[in-house]
Structure 1
Amino acid sequence: MAKYESLQNYLAARPEQMSRVTMSFDEVEALVGSLPPSARDHRAWWANDSKVQAQAWRAAGWRVESVDQRAGRVVFTRSIVGDSHPIARNPRPSRAVPAPQSIMVSTSSVEDGMPEARAQAMLVTYLVGQGWRIQRVADTTTKEQGIDVLATRGDRTLAVEVKGYPGRRYSDPRRAGETKPTAPATQARHWYAQAILKAML
């Protein structure tokens, strides 16, 4: 991800109130050097997947919303819409970032739960603050398969399965206002059991 680290740092440094950034390909190249021809020819190059360039903007808490390859322009948006905890907002904090347990407490967590994307974002922020290099961040909104967070520090590699905590209501807008029949604690036990099984396997 070294080639695109300056893009990651640029996006991570955008003010919190900024939810969208439009950049020309020339502006991106001013940060990272020459883009490969596929960036100008194929929309898939800008996909929010596990490719090295996507890892850079996703680790900064952003995603590609749209690309106009004829105009040579890309639009980035905050990856967690309406959330105040984007991934790695400041990739190199000057002080240690609090452990995830201390920043996951929220007055809205009982009703709204802890969405997996938010848990993943806070984890990545913490790891970056502790000197880990993020190699991969899975797109939880599309239920992307594979390791949720892959990070390295020195000769150590960390592979993380991320689980959120369910809320009492459905996140699906079509079922907004409905209360889930299963208690959040029961549902959470199933999720965590899956994570433990995956770790054992």
Structure 2
Amino acid sequence: MALAAFTLNGTRYELSSDVVEARLVGVVPEPIREHAAQVNGVWYPVMQAFEVAVGVPRSEFISHTARRHLATLGFPLQGRVEGRDEAAAATATAKPDLTVVRDFGGEEWHTEANVQASVVTALAARGYRVLSVANTATREHGVDVVASRDGATVGVEVKGYPSRNYADPARPSERKKTQPSTQAGHWFAAAALAAMRLRGKEPGWKSVIALPDFNRYRDLFTETQGSLSAAGISVWWVDEDGTVDFG
């Protein structure tokens, strides 16, 4: 059973995967337009699943919040699911015969939040207990993902890949002055430094950097692979479909 503790609009909540499953038994899924979570073998819109599980109206949180906490609890997530009615959704299995388009509701797949969600989902699927997940939207300090299995703990520093445009809704058509490849170099360096600091702070943990699989990051990894290996730092790669290569 996975557990999650979080604060939402100033109120502290504790939620378990068992509670989520119990509260969604018999609940008919609404049509899925963007993000989906699978609970009890049924695919639900993440907003509906989180609303029912927590008992908080969906007007009080955003889809990123729902996705992050449901992923922490180990529930599979998908991007946009199309061409499916309620009857099909109610009988969907872990591998539904559906066309899944990972457009993330207009977001780029390689944002830090989406890469983080893929990592958390993959860890839960491997039997890890996810102990903490940092809120990337608010740039929360600390290790991005901490998980444990069989007495071993892993700390993961997550980075996305830079976009050419600003994420700020007020600047949608404005292009960044810094090229993505240049900014990616800065982000890679920051991730490596954070991973090294974690090795010093928690020498008993496995220190990992999780990156979206882009050629620029692959080149930087090739240049630093020996040093990272000597420092005891691993690199995991996340594909557009959410698959995580644990190396």
Give me the whole-angstrom Cα distance separating, in 2, the residues matched to 1:153 and 1:176: 42
The residue that corresponds to 2:124 in the other structure is 128
SS in 2 for 1:15: strand
Specify which structure has the bigger relative contact order, considering alpha-carbon pairs within 8 angstroms and separated by 6 or more residues: 1
RMSD, matched Cα = 3.4
CA drift at 1:114: 1.4
Which of 64, 77, 83 is residue 80 of structure 1 equivalent to?
64
Distance in structure 2 (CA, Å) of the matches to 1:198 and 1:156: 20
> Do the aligned partners of residues 112 and 74 (structure 1) sit closer, same or farther apart at CA in structure 2, a change above 3 Å counting?
closer
**TM-score, normalised via structure 1 length:** 0.57
Which aligned pairs between 1:45-194 and structure 2 lie closer than 5 A? 73-76=55-58, 79-80=63-64, 87=71, 88-90=74-76, 112=108, 114-194=110-190
Q: How many residues align structurally?
A: 138
Moved over 4 A (4+): 8-12
1:20 is the counterpart of 2:63: no
Q: Percent identity, aligned pairs only?
A: 37
When normalised by structure 2's length, the TM-score is 0.47
Unaligned ranges ≥5, structure 1: 29-63, 65-72, 96-105
Residue 43 of structure 2 aligns to a residue whose secondary structure is coil
Q: d(CA) in 2 for partners of 1:12 and 1:140?
A: 23
Give distance in 1, aligned partners of 2:180 and 2:109: 8
For residues 17 and 5 of structure 1, do their structure 2 counterparts lie closer, same or farther at Cα, with a shift above 3 Å needed? closer
Q: 1:167 & 1:126 partners in 2: Cα distance?
A: 24
Unaligned runs of 5+ in 2: 5-14, 25-36, 78-92, 96-101, 198-247
Q: Distance in 2 between matches of 1:121 and 1:131?
A: 16
Q: How much does 1:7 deviate?
A: 3.0
